[in-house]
Amino acid sequence: MGNLLAIGAAWLEAQRAAGLSETVTYSRGGASVQLAASRGRSEHARETTDGLVTVALSADWLLGAADLVLGDELAEPAPGDRIAASAGTFEVLPPSGSGTDCWRWEDGHGRTMRVHTKRIEK
């Protein structure tokens, strides 16, 4: 029997993609791929130099790492990439002033990515 947590993570990713997602188009330059993605959001808090705490919200997308194939190669999200969905077009970018990357792993097994975006078109 394999690692039960890894098996569970694979099952959970399959359930998310099958029942909690919509088909979106992920693009970078001239390359694009259609994949199942689930919309979410994240809060990013940071303290300013004068002690105020600001909170920024990002429109996040959960997607399967194995599904992000651009130009016949597995890819990682990069700033400037685009996601076209039913709610509009979203640009991949790190949360404003957060000092974090534009994506992170949603699980501990490298199956699901959480991609931070900002809606740029309705």
Q: H or E stretch including 37?
A: strand 31-47
The pLDDT of residue 1 is 53
Structure tokens at 92: 């991949």
The pLDDT of residue 7 is 77
For the four alpha carbons of 121, 57, 85 and 91, in that order, the dihedral sign comes to: positive
Q: Range of 74's domain?
A: 4-121
Q: Number of folded domains in the chain?
A: 1
Give, for all 122 residues of the chain, the pLDDT tens digit.
567 877 777 777 777 767 778 999 999 999 999 999 999 888 877 788 888 887 878 899 999 999 999 999 999 999 999 999 999 999 999 887 556 789 999 888 888 999 999 999 98
Q: Provide long-range contacts, Cβ within 8 A and 24+ apart, for 29-32.
A: 31/70, 31/71, 32/70
Q: What is the CA radius of gyration of the chain?
A: 15
The pLDDT of residue 13 is 72
**Cα first-last separation, the chain:** 47
The pLDDT of residue 99 is 60
The pLDDT of residue 19 is 76
Cβ-contact 97, 48 below 8 angstroms: no
Instruction: For residue 82, give the nearest of 121, 12, 28 by alpha carbon.
Output: 28
